[in-house]
Structure 1
């Protein structure tokens, strides 16, 4: 069974927004070998902090990136 990240449509209903955890996991899996995860998370956190809307999703996504940032040593890179 594979990871299916495609939006699903049910009987003419619009696709639901992806959950922050799904977005985070997709981002993490898409990082190429050699990526400095702490630095990449910093970039995403800065991008999410510019969001000025009311939806809680971007705040939750920022929390996930902050947790990742706090759990990896600076300069840690993805290995092949």
Structure 2
């Protein structure tokens, strides 16, 4: 099982979605957690840019002001999602 926990300091930065997508595929990640996303809302379009094949289940906590925000994803074929 491989995972990544990263204090990314802004998930909306230019090139961040491509970087995350590449990390997921290059390292065969099973889970990913991003802290300090600084995003109040994560859109389906943003998720598709990170996970174009829909291999992960994603959940997030919005940021408050200019700090915070968490985005987490787990691979469907590795984990059973209960609730």
| More contact order relative to length (CA 8 Å, sep ≥ 6) | 1
Taking structure 1 as the reference length, the TM-score comes to 0.29
